[in-house]
Amino acid sequence: VAEGETSEGREPFELPRFWDTLGQTFQVTSQEATKLSLAFSRPPLPSAESCRKLSEDVQNAILAVATVYYWLPKGQGTTLRKMVRDATTEVVEGMIQLTDTILNAPVESLSQEQLISTGGVWEACEQVSNLPRDNQAAVVSALAASLGVVKDAVEEMEHALVEGQDPYGDIMEDEELGFRGNRDTYWSEADRQLLSSCMGLMKASKACLKKVLAAVKAHGKADSPEHIAQLDDLADIANEISPSVDELALSMYPPVNPLAVRLNAAKLASVLTKVLEIAKTSHVCPPSEEGWVQFLTGAVDHNMNKVKNFTQGQL
């Protein structure tokens, strides 16, 4: 089936019809998983003819799921397409696992593994109802997930940086580390000054994702190829924020290597700057949104300059 066409190859792609058909194929796959599992839940084994029919039905159901996924054109949004692909893959892998479990399990009774595998296919098939229905919703979902991860990273580092707190105190005993003044186990005052600017960058990351998420919710549209592409560009670069925050956070634990901290801070600052630039030039940022873009751009530059100043004599 050519991308963007229906099985007849002539009709234009319609998103509502796609979702109806995908939902039907997922439902059929769930039913086939149930039939397959029940057939091998107790003796006697199904006949050779029954096994052939079961296999054909399972194969047809999986082929239908994959075929419908390929109906979704990239022009509807790469963020949306990736989420549908991941859901489709989970269904296929779930059915493979169920089949393997049945092949490797004795037929005396329904095994716990078989029950778990069958439930796994059901759960994967039910996900279709929770998938975002267009690229705007998909990008909102992706940004919200990234924001949650960054929030956790910021809170964890804030907790570790509490004045006087030993960052390793909750995982190591004194006798394991030997002398408590070991430079590898605590932050010096100079470290803390540097890390306060790094925390500024991490908080700017959280604020950036929060503001971009709100802008996409309020102004994001998936009504034209240009708008869909802009949303994808925003999601792609915003997806780099969380890993960059994690890398910076890891380099902030003692013993602090100023060069590593500076490099990771510069990488995060670069990602944030790109996110803000892409947001500013996209349809999700009308004039009413320009204030926070300018403010956060300034905050990123300010904290990065402080990191540079603190590390200047330590490199």
Residues 67 and 202 in one domain: no
Report CA 93 to chain centroid distance, whole Å. 19
pLDDT band at 177 (very low <50, low <70, confident <90, very high): very low
Residues 182 and 262 in one domain: yes
Determine, yes or no, domain membership for 6.
no
Q: What percent of the chain has pLDDT over 70?
A: 87
Q: How far apart are CA 271 and CA 240, in angstroms?
A: 7
Instruction: Give the pLDDT confidence of 71-107 residue by residue, as tens digits.
Output: 999 999 999 999 999 999 999 999 999 999 998 877 6
CATH code of the domain covering residue 268: 1.20.1410.10
Residues 21 and 112 in one domain: yes
pLDDT tops 80 at residue 138:
yes
Residues 157 and 120 in one domain: no
Report CA 57 to chain centroid distance, whole Å. 33
* Between 30 and 169, residue with greater pLDDT: 30
pLDDT band at 161 (very low <50, low <70, confident <90, very high): confident
Domain count, the chain: 2
Instruction: Give the pLDDT confidence of 290-299 residue by residue, as tens digits.
Output: 999 999 999 9
Among 130, 157, 185, the domain boundary falls at 130
Residues 110 and 195 in one domain: no
Determine, yes or no, domain membership for 2.
no
Residues 157 and 245 in one domain: yes
Residues 6+ apart with CB under 8 A from 36: 54, 58, 98, 99, 102
- pLDDT recorded at residue 21: 97
Q: Which residues span the domain enclosing 300?
A: 135-165+176-311
pLDDT band at 226 (very low <50, low <70, confident <90, very high): very high
Determine, yes or no, domain membership for 171.
no
Residues 107 and 192 in one domain: no
Residues 274 and 295 in one domain: yes
The pTM for the full model equals 0.87
Residues 209 and 301 in one domain: yes
Residues 302 and 199 in one domain: yes
pLDDT tops 50 at residue 8:
no
Determine, yes or no, domain membership for 30.
yes
Residues 161 and 287 in one domain: yes
Residues 187 and 282 in one domain: yes
CATH code of the domain covering residue 117: 1.20.1420.10
Q: How far apart are CA 181 and CA 220, in angstroms?
A: 53
Q: How far apart are CA 284 and CA 293, in angstroms?
A: 12
